[in-house]
């Protein structure tokens, strides 16, 4: 069964450094998302991406965050200058087509630890 893959599984970075989290969505999916989950808290929406542009972003997704789909398969989340509070699990998700009953499939996540 096709799945969303994310790399790395764990990233440890010094505060102020840039990080890039990578995702390969399911190949025939058109809608892509990033979510994060701080330890012990709920899963929070960060950004959605469709047709090579951001379709919606949350208040969390400030100027330090950016997303890109550089080559038609990878979908990346970049944090330009990391802060301690960016430590969380980051999940990539993808969805095949439009419709409220179309499920999002999640990758295994990247655990980001900021020191």
**55/73 with CB nearer other proteins:** 55
Distance CA 38, CA 86 (A): 8
Q: Which residues contact 12 (CB under 8 A, 6 or more apart)?
A: 113, 115
**15/54 with CB nearer other proteins:** 54
Q: What share of the chain is helix, strand, coil (3-state, %, to 5)?
A: 5, 50, 50
**Window of 19-27, 49-57, 63-71, 75-83 that interacts with other proteins by CB under 8 A:** 49-57
Least distance (Å) between residue 104 CB and other proteins: 6
Distance CA 40, CA 54 (A): 28
Q: Which residue in the set 21, 29, 35, 112 belongs to the binding site for other proteins (CB under 8 A)?
A: 35
Q: What are the residues binding other proteins (CB under 8 A)?
A: 31, 33, 35, 41-45, 48, 50, 55-56, 58, 89, 91, 93, 95, 98-109
């Amino acid at each position: 069964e096709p799945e969303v893959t994310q790399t790395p599984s764990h990233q440890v970075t010094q505060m102020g450094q840039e990080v890039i989290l990578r995702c390969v969505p399911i190949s025939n999916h058109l809608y892509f998302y990033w979510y994060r989950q701080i330890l012990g808290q709920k899963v929070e929406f960060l950004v959605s991406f469709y047709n090579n542009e951001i379709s919606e972003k949350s208040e969390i997704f400030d100027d330090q965050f950016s997303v890109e789909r550089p080559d038609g398969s990878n979908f990346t989340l970049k944090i330009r200058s990391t802060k301690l509070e960016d430590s969380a699990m980051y999940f990539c998700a993808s969805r095949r087509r439009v419709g409220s009953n179309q499920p999002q499939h999640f990758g295994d996540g990247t655990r980001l630890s900021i020191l």
